[in-house]
Structures are given as structure tokens and as C-alpha cells.
Structure 1
Amino acid sequence: MDETNPPWTRPMPDEQFDLMRRILAAPSPVGLEGAMTYGVLKPYFESFAPDDWHIHQFKGHAGIVLDSHPGRDDLLKVMIIGHADKIRMQVRSIGDDGKIWINTDAFLPTVVVGHEVKLFSEDPENPGSYRTIEGGTVEALGAIHFADPAVRSGEKGIKKEQIYLDLQIHGENKKQQVLNLGVRPGDSILLDRPIRPGFSPNTFYGAYLDNGLGCFVTAEVARLIAEAGGTRQVRMLYAIASYEEIGRFGSRVLAGELKPDVLIGVDVNHDYVAAPGIGDKRMQPLEMGKGFTLAVGAIASEQLNRIIASTAKQYNIPMQRDIVGADTGTDGMAGVLAAVDCAATSIGFPIRNMHTISETGNTQDLLAAIHGLTRTIQALDSLPDPHREFLDNHPRLDQANPLNHQGSAKPDEEKPES
């Protein structure tokens, strides 16, 4: 690595950007994550993993885990988790007029109106076989002319019960036309927006950055560690989980099954500086383009955070401190939710417009996360005894040193020389 021009200061290479785009493009709504895990990530893992590494598969969900030292429970087990599941809309019912009424899940109703979508329908005559319907749009009112004055002025919003999918059905027996397609309640619907480079340098936008980006980062860390010769004292578990968007159920299964000693959730975060209308909430000023974020609070391990932060400082990798309160809100909670004793934390990358069709991110933040995690793993692997590092070094606030007032209120550059 060129230390004078490290990767996180440069544009993302085209080949790497294409990998990210393919991961994000995989249709993997909650419960149907196999397109991302088995269609994109498993083949990618297999393309670089040494022969003695192993991919764990599971019965109840489509999560996968790339294991660097299968069976070596004596090593420090470190699990990095991204989640493959995307928030999705679902068919709720079919109206006599051909409207397909849908649930909006974790989308605000107003952000989906007018957008193109893909509907994934299971063939009623051939269970387990799916078809794709394209060309439909999500609607609510049909036209401004049919909205009451309060909706026109913005005083009143759109309710989730008003949202429907329009397949432009017309003519006689409209409901039957939809039924003839095999569309049924429960069918998944995804926004149809590919990932594209943004206008500003090192940016990109599109749907479902949450959380294909965490899977992309996890996969790239695995590749870099494999290319560097692997680890000696650390058993790496590169995990791609499911069910995060409905309660982080998939990651807690992975933690419960493999019982990591260290767990790092990797997920998107918010660009609070750019978020409209929250200035009075005085959020931590996380910002896109200023590096990855590190969670402080909740179950975040101070020992693990110290190693990550020290490593980032050593290599001048940009990092932002994130305050998470009682819950990280990510798969970083998987260990405690699965009742597994592990040192855990969560890292992320600020994005804008989360849970919309135009989520926006910065490639240099991703590269900072990839290389920050890679260097952290190598730092853990170089410890004299990685297990004792976490057993013996819990912070002791009763041993904190007193801090006196520091004197001058002038900025450092204005202080006189001593």
C-alpha cells in the first residue's frame, strides 16, 4: 500500500465499484436474501478464499459465513457482520379496479410514490419458482386534482393505507387480469433504481445502500486479509446475515451458532450534518466524506473500540465517533441478543436519505472502513495473547487520573511558545 497516497484518499477503482454495484443490485428482500448471498457473495468468497477456508450455510435462512479456520475454537474468533436483507413492500390485497394495495414496510409512504418497482411473484402452479413483473409504479392519489386542499398545501400527508401498485391494468375484469398473473398477497416488491456515480467526486446514489454496503465492506476485508496471507491467532468469521430489518434475528442466530469472542457489526449510518430539520436535536455531526464511524455507548466494548481507534490513528484512516445510546441499532447487538459473551461494537459510514430510493454514499468512507477493519484484524492477530487482551483490560474508572483546567482558551495555533 502506498502510504503517501493510501486507498481511502483516492477514487474507488472501477472493478471494485462494479462489485459494490452488483452486490447492491441483488434482489434480496427480507426472507429472500439468496440472490445476494448465494448469487453474488458466495461466488466472490470462493474466488479468493484459500482451500482450507470454509463457507457455513444454514437451514432456516440464506445467511452465509466465510470461516478462515474451521474448527479452531482455540483461536480468538472475530465475526464481522453485514446484512443482506433489504426493506421491501408487500402485496396486501387486490382491488376490483386492478389496484394492487401494498404495505410500505419501513419506507415513509411519501418517498415511494411515483417510483418504478419490481414485483417478485411466486408461481402458484409451481411453488418455489418466482417470476418478475416490471413496469409498475407506486401511487397514492393518482393526481393532484383528486387530492383535498390540505394534501395539496402540504398540511396533510399520505397515509400508508393509500399506497398501491399500478400495473396500468385496464379493460374488463381488472381484478381477474391481476389474478391471472399469479400475483398474491405477500408477494415482495422492490424499488427499481440502479446504483450510479454521483455528481460530486467519490459519491454514488441509488436504492438499498442499507445494507448491501455492509456486505460489500465485509467481503472486501475478507479478500484483503486472504491476499495478505491470512491470520495466525485469529479465526475470522466473515458473516452475511438476514432478517436485520425486522429485528436483527439473522445475526443473533449466527452469533449463537458460532459463538464469536469479538463481533463487529457493519452498517450504514446517518449524515446528520446534511439531514434536514434536525438541527435543534443537536446530533453528533457525522458527515459523509469524513471517514467511517465507530459506535460509543450501548454494548460497544471500550477495549475493542480502543484497538480500532488506535489503529485508525496509526495509519491516518479517517474515523468519526458515533453516539448510540442504549442500542447500536445494528447487528453489533447480535452477541448480547444471542446471550454470547463477546466484545462487540459497530462501525458504519454516513449516508443521506436512508430508506429512500435515492440513498447517497461516499466511496472514500467505504474504503476507510475496509482498510480500518483490515488493519484492526492484523493488530488483533499481532497481540501476545488476544484472549487475555479482552479478559484483563476492562476499563477501570476508579483508576482515572484527575484532570486540571488547561489554561488558555486560545486556539492551539495562537498559544505562545513555551
Structure 2
Amino acid sequence: MSQSQAPWKQPMPAAQFSLMRDILAAPSPVGLEAAMTYGVLKPHFERFAPKGWQVHQFKGNAGIVLDTHPGRDDMFKLMLIGHADKIRMQVRSIGEDGKIWINTDSFLPTVLIGHEVKLFSEDPEKPGEYRCLEGGTVEALGAIHFSDPAQRSGEKGIKKEQIYLDLQIHGDNKKQQVENLGVRPGDSIIFDRPIREGFSPDTFYGAYLDNGLGCFATAEVARLIAEAGGTDSVRVMFAIASYEEIGRFGSRVLAGELKPDALIGVDVNHDYVAAPGIGDKRMQPLEMGKGFTMSVGSIASEQLNRVIAQAAKANDIPLQRDIVGVDTGTDGMAGVLASVDCAATSIGFPIRNMHTISETGNTRDVLAAIHGLTHAIQALDKMPDLDRAFLDNHPRLDNARPLDHQGCEAPQSDDE
């Protein structure tokens, strides 16, 4: 493939960006993920899936899996997993003054203030039917005039217990006005912020890149594999999981049910170079715009990583190594958590401002991940006897060769 044809070196086409925006826009807070899985992704899968491919559905969660060779347990099984669930706020109680006190889950309280949200409320009279309430904002302190000096200076922060939803309720019987809407404790609240193209080239921003972005990438890999004629020796399962934000519970069910031989979590990562205030932590210099990331360490399989890294290098796709320690922090852990013997790793895309209303990403990183995974799957499909290859070729450090000092001159690059 020529440099000019490499999609990861080009702006994302408008139609592809529109699909990404539709997936990210689906209201899918934890436990209510079907808007994304059944409303957007399942119909999308069915539009391009070749005859014989099958979508698996589940009773206990809204996860789905697009399977290239359903029932073929004799084949080597590879699972890619994005997760559809979004972190959300939740109604805790309703005050006499009409304030709706809310739990903030995995948000920093300070990033919530003043932002518009949507509240999804189950109809008390018609269980199973939901209504959407718009026009409210998340608040905590009101006007600066009512804050004490330490809050004005920033010396004193905001506690999560101070966060409430303001529906501009006024007049008589304020609590009753809210209760008449059928709003109840437990109702879910999410940001009302679709993604938009950013100011800088190839960037975009908005809420919930975590992890509609991984679902979009997984779906696009499935489409590219389908358009290339599918696979012959690898059974690929393109999974969209639930419950990741509360402990990877959905993905471990999918892995436990379908028992993959290899598994790749697909999720957002951090741009550590741009992250404020972490210089003394000396994190690895992952950076937005410099390619997709691949987990190294933890449960990450060096054999699976080798295939991904070789595919990326062979096709000049930019790849950054991510050091993950004891836990990938993603659905890449699903096999281990489900007690399934599978080689596993995690890939991602560096974003900024994770778990805020202004998460920011780069389309070229996303495209690099999509095409890197596609080439890796195709490379796996060409390998003979994959079961034995993964059983017999674990790295042997006792076979490591001695390494001498290599001098101080920088090696010449291919461009020189």
C-alpha cells in the first residue's frame, strides 16, 4: 500500500466520521446499553455481515457479538472487545426545594458544574418505558457570591455530596413538581454533548469517547474483514460488552460463554504527554496523533503482541507501547477474570480529558488501530496451526542472547 493510500495517514472520510458520531451519541449508561448495541451496532452489523455470520445476544446484559463462524469451536477463536457502557450520574434523592441530588460515579465533581445533561426516567405507570428529560444543568455552589473565600481561591474543592441537578424548578410545591414528572431515585443522567470536529486537524472532542470509540473501531475492523472476504482459519468474534465501567463484568461473561483462544480489548488510553500535573510521575510518553497503543506487561501476551507489532511495522502503521503493570484497566482482562485460557492484550487510542465532557481524540490514531487490527487478524489467519503456535512459543528468557554496549551514535533511519 502506498503512503498516499494509507487511510491512517489521511483525514477520516465524512461518512466514517458520521458513523463514529452516531455510535458515540447513543445514550448507553451502565446497565442501559441497548441504545448503542441494539439501536446502532446490531443493524450496522447486519448491513454488511456476509451470509453465515451471526450476531449473538445475551439474557443478562445488552452485549452483542458478531461471529464469523458460529458454532465452529474447532477453529482458533479470536475475540475483539469494545464496551458500550458509559459512566453516568444517578438520581439519589429529591429535595423539598426541587433540587435533584445525584451520585457522580466516576466523574470528578469539579468537571460536572454547569453542564447540560439528559435524565432518563422509567415511567412509574408503565414499567419498561423510558422518558427523556432535557434542559437541566449540574450544579453545586450556585453563584460565586455564596461561596466561602477558600472555594473562590481554589483552596477548597467540591464534595461529591454537593452535586445536584437543577431543573429550574420554582413556585409552589417544588418537590412535588419533580415527583409529578415521575423522576425517582436510580434514574440515569448523562452529558448532553455530541462529538464535534476539533480546531486542530484530524481532532474531535465531546463526551463519552470512552468507550464508544472502541466499539466503533471494533465494528470497522469487522467491516473491513467482511469486505476482504472473511477469514479461513480464525473464527473472529467482534464483541460489544457492557458493565466495563463498574468492573469488566460484561466482557467476562462474553469470554466465559464463548471461550476465545485469544482476546484483544479495544479501549481509549491516556495522552500522558498532554496530561497536566503528572511530570514527576514519569509516565511513558503516549501522545495523541502518534498512533494506536498496545499494552505491554500484566497479562498481555507477548505472542499476541508480536503479531500486532509485526503487522503494524509491515504496513508502516504507527504504534506506541503502553506499560500497564498489573492490570490493563480494560476488557483485555476478560479472559483472566472469566478463568478462560486465552492469550490476551489491549490496544487503544490516546485521548485527553478522559471522563469529562470534553474528551479529545485524533482520527488518525483511531484509523491506525482499525487497520492495525485488521492486518493482525489477516496475519493470524495465515499462520499454520495457531493452537500449537500459542501453546509452544511462549518467550524463553533463558534463551536470551548477550547484549554488549552499542556506542553513542544514533542509528540511521530509513528516511536518511
Fold shared by both chains (TM-score > 0.5): yes
CA distance in 2, matches of 1:52, 1:310: 30
Unaligned runs of 5+ in 1: none
Matches within 5 A, 1:113-124: 113-124=113-124
CA distance in 2, matches of 1:50, 1:352: 37
* Partner residue, 2:77: 77
Q: Is the 8 A contact 2:3 2:9 kept in 1?
A: no
Match status 1:364 vs 2:364: yes
The CA deviation at 1:4 is 3.9
| Partner SS for 2:379 | helix
* Partner residue, 1:15: 15
Match status 1:182 vs 2:182: yes
* Partner residue, 2:286: 286
Alignment RMSD (CA, Å): 0.9
* Partner residue, 1:38: 38
Q: Deviations over 1:202-248 (max 9, x none)?
A: 00000000000000000000000000000000001000000000000
| Partner SS for 1:136 | strand
Change (3 A) 1:413 1:226: closer
* Partner residue, 2:131: 131
CA distance in 1, matches of 2:389, 2:198: 43
CA distance in 1, matches of 2:98, 2:351: 37
CA distance in 1, matches of 2:337, 2:313: 31
CA distance in 2, matches of 1:377, 1:224: 11
Residues matched between the structures, number: 413
* Partner residue, 1:68: 68
* Partner residue, 1:105: 105
* Partner residue, 2:411: 412
CA distance in 1, matches of 2:104, 2:72: 44
CA distance in 1, matches of 2:352, 2:405: 39
| Partner SS for 2:121 | strand
Q: Deviations over 1:124-152 (max 9, x none)?
A: 00000000000000000011011111000
Match status 1:383 vs 2:412: no
Output the amino acid matched with 1:113: I
CA distance in 1, matches of 2:335, 2:234: 18
Q: Deviations over 1:248-283 (max 9, x none)?
A: 000000000000000000000000000000000000
CA distance in 2, matches of 1:79, 1:315: 22
* Partner residue, 1:93: 93
Match status 1:301 vs 2:301: yes
Unaligned runs of 5+ in 2: none
CA distance in 1, matches of 2:125, 2:98: 22
The CA deviation at 1:24 is 0.2
Output the amino acid matched with 2:73: D
The CA deviation at 1:389 is 1.4
CA distance in 2, matches of 1:236, 1:264: 11
The CA deviation at 1:174 is 0.1
* Partner residue, 2:242: 242
Q: Deviations over 1:336-367 (max 9, x none)?
A: 00000000000000000000000000000000
CA distance in 2, matches of 1:40, 1:136: 26
The CA deviation at 1:387 is 1.3
Q: Deviations over 1:159-182 (max 9, x none)?
A: 000000000000000000000000
* Partner residue, 1:275: 275
Output the amino acid matched with 2:134: E
The CA deviation at 1:388 is 1.4
Output the amino acid matched with 2:253: V
CA distance in 2, matches of 1:413, 1:195: 41
CA distance in 1, matches of 2:228, 2:402: 43
The CA deviation at 1:2 is 4.7
Q: Deviations over 1:280-336 (max 9, x none)?
A: 000000000000000001000000001100110000000000000000000000000
Identity of matched residues, %: 81
